[in-house]
Structure 1
Amino acid sequence: MPAATPFPRHIAALILATLACSFAGNHIAARIAFDHDTGLLLAMLCRSGVTLLALAALVLWRGESLRMRHQTWAWQLMLGLLIAVQSFCIYSAVARIPVALALLVVNLAPILLALLTWALGGPRPTRRAAWLMGLILLGLMFVLDLPRQLSGPADIDRRWIEGVLFGLIGAAAFACALWITGNRLSGMPGAVRSMLTMLVVFAASALAGAGGLLPGGMNLPSATAGWIALGCLVLLYGVAFSALFILVTRLDIARNAPVMNIEPVAGLLFGWLILDQLLNGLQMFGGLLVVSGIVLLAYKRQA
């Protein structure tokens, strides 16, 4: 089969930016759904289930094989569980703190991945990469408004602490998932790997819900707005995730992937327009540092 012709770079960048906005919109919809009593596990179950169906249809259409070695299945199971943890953590963060703030914290994953790769025998981060990581951490300090939080006389809000911690755990889980993908499952077709990952997420969400591990985790929305938001988060995530794998061979991901880092920027804009969530000037400056550092770090890796 001949290789697919890549889109012109400006078209590929526009598509990736649209997908990033769709992922951001999924988290905005999730916050609305949670504000109307939707269970977190229910949201994960619906999102992963619909995406699983779309990816299964894609795998069947392409006629891709599911035959793998026993060891590969073990790594695939671990990948799925890590993505389940990441999904749970980012939704937990979104339910507690502004969406843009949660997404910026989770975007620490590239730094954690670089450090994890180094710790497991990979290349040591270059001096420039270390400076960019420092820039990202400095920006995150401003995003979290740490100077004011630590100097203020009042106690730090408990939900704020929980949201930030969930974001950090989600970033760590995603970094581990990226390492497994790149170092243990890179030979698998992307659609098959993603389909099996969604299958594990779906099964883990169903088992956790059936076992009552999270009180209220399977609650139905209490209002029409909650149902609409639940439908929107499923649609936005499912379409974006599936489209990414359908079009991946034409998007020249190696060159254009940094465009996806506009997701927290889109989260900030949507959070302001839809949820009336607005970061202060110093936090927005920190967000600019974080996004800029991540984009420069990604371009450096490709060089």
Structure 2
Amino acid sequence: MNTKPLPRWLGVSLLLLIAAAFASNHISARIAFDHGTNVTTAVAVRSCATVLFVLALLRHAGVVPRMPRPTLRRAAAIGLLMSVQSLCLYSAVARIPVALALLAFNTFPLLLGLISWAAGAQRPSSRALVATPIALAGLALALDAAGWATPAGAARPVPPAAMAAGVAFALTGATAFAGALFFTTRWLDTTDGRLRTLVLMMVVAVVAIAAGLVDGHFDWPRDTAGWLALAALSVLYGSGITGLFVLLPRIGAVNNAAVMNAEPIIALFLGWVVLDQRVAPIQIAGAFVVIGAIVMLTTGRR
């Protein structure tokens, strides 16, 4: 497939729309979890819905869903990384405020840069050596590692065990996602983005269904609000992930992944409006420190 580069302004604008879709997806996921859905059910449903959506796109475009066997094996391996990312990030969203889960997860541009360097790319710049400790310090503030934050308004503090588990899940998901982006741009850069998404989501669906069977149950929404949230997260995720894997190879994952750091800011606003999830001022300040450091790292001269 011809992957002609997009103009920078257009690529960034589309990435911002994708970030908004992902933020809304995670808000919908938290609503679904609060109304009876469990993580494996949500991941399985959204992945199956995405597969059907992409199949419809391919059929409409007259594209035969076929890959060479070596490419298919590589796509399946990336799909396993996406499975880890999906299950871990939703597990984080289910435990801690959505914005904090996404903030920890959105360290993936830092991890992507480290993976690229370890794979033989240029060594970290002086900008990276400055930005990385700043980002870690901001993350410590945002996640209230020192226990300094006072809950805002009527917000209830997250129990330390839940916070630790949520952060661990989010960082594991970030590592898996960074790996998926790295291998996608190197192994599948000439593959139709819709075919990439189809194979990745098929693997994620299989893994999620298998996890549910091993766990012994799928928990479904117990009321209308839960079903609506489950449907919304499927639509938002399907459109967002399809757009992401079509777009990133055309604008460069390493250079533009920082744009996705708009996602936790959007989620912070939506979490406050929709879920009444509030965080202390020091945590908000820490969030902006992290985002500023990541933007500094990934948008400097190369």
Identify the TM-score tier after normalising by the shorter chain. Answer: 0.7 to 0.9
TM-score (norm 1): 0.86
Partner of 2:17: 18
Asked if the contact 1:52–1:195 (Cα under 8 Å) also holds between the matched residues in 2, the reply is yes
Partner of 2:215: 214
Matched, 1:117 2:116: yes
> Secondary structure at the residue paired with 1:96?
coil
Partner of 1:81: 80
Matched, 1:294 2:297: no
Asked if the contact 1:36–1:226 (Cα under 8 Å) also holds between the matched residues in 2, the reply is yes
Deviation at 1:196, TM superposition (A): 0.6
| Paired residue type of 2:234 | V
| Paired residue type of 1:167 | A
Partner of 1:201: 204
Partner of 1:172: 175
Asked if the contact 2:48–2:201 (Cα under 8 Å) also holds between the matched residues in 1, the reply is yes
Asked if the contact 1:106–1:167 (Cα under 8 Å) also holds between the matched residues in 2, the reply is yes
Return the alpha-carbon distance in structure 1 between the equivalents of residues 109 and 284 of structure 2: 20
Return the alpha-carbon distance in structure 2 between the equivalents of residues 252 and 148 of structure 1: 40
Asked if the contact 2:99–2:271 (Cα under 8 Å) also holds between the matched residues in 1, the reply is yes
Partner of 1:161: 164
User: How do residues 67-78 of structure 1 correspond to structure 2 at under 5 angstroms?
Assistant: 67-70=67-70, 72-78=71-77
Deviation at 1:97, TM superposition (A): 0.2
> Secondary structure at the residue paired with 1:186?
coil
Deviation at 1:116, TM superposition (A): 2.2
Return the alpha-carbon distance in structure 1 between the equivalents of residues 259 and 238 of structure 2: 19
| Paired residue type of 1:208 | A
Return the alpha-carbon distance in structure 1 between the equivalents of residues 58 and 121 of structure 2: 32
Partner of 2:154: none
Aligned-residue identity in percent: 40
| Paired residue type of 2:96 | I
| Paired residue type of 1:126 | S
Partner of 2:36: 37
Deviation at 1:260, TM superposition (A): 2.7
Asked if the contact 2:82–2:200 (Cα under 8 Å) also holds between the matched residues in 1, the reply is yes
Distance 1:17 1:94, change over 3 A: same
Distance 1:199 1:137, change over 3 A: same
Residue segments in structure 1 that go unaligned for 5+ positions in a row: none
| Paired residue type of 1:224 | T
Matched, 1:51 2:54: no
Return the alpha-carbon distance in structure 2 between the equivalents of residues 39 and 19 of structure 1: 24
| Paired residue type of 1:30 | A
> Secondary structure at the residue paired with 1:140?
helix
User: How do residues 94-109 of structure 1 correspond to structure 2 at under 5 angstroms?
Assistant: 94-109=93-108
Deviation at 1:143, TM superposition (A): 0.8
| Paired residue type of 1:185 | L
Q: Deviations over 1:10-49 (max 9, x none)?
A: x654443232111101001101111111121111111111
Aligned residues: 293
Over aligned residues, Cα RMSD in angstroms?
2.9
Asked if the contact 2:46–2:233 (Cα under 8 Å) also holds between the matched residues in 1, the reply is yes
Return the alpha-carbon distance in structure 2 between the equivalents of residues 4 and 117 of structure 1: 23
Q: Deviations over 1:44-63 (max 9, x none)?
A: 11111111122223334152
Return the alpha-carbon distance in structure 2 between the equivalents of residues 49 and 104 of structure 1: 27
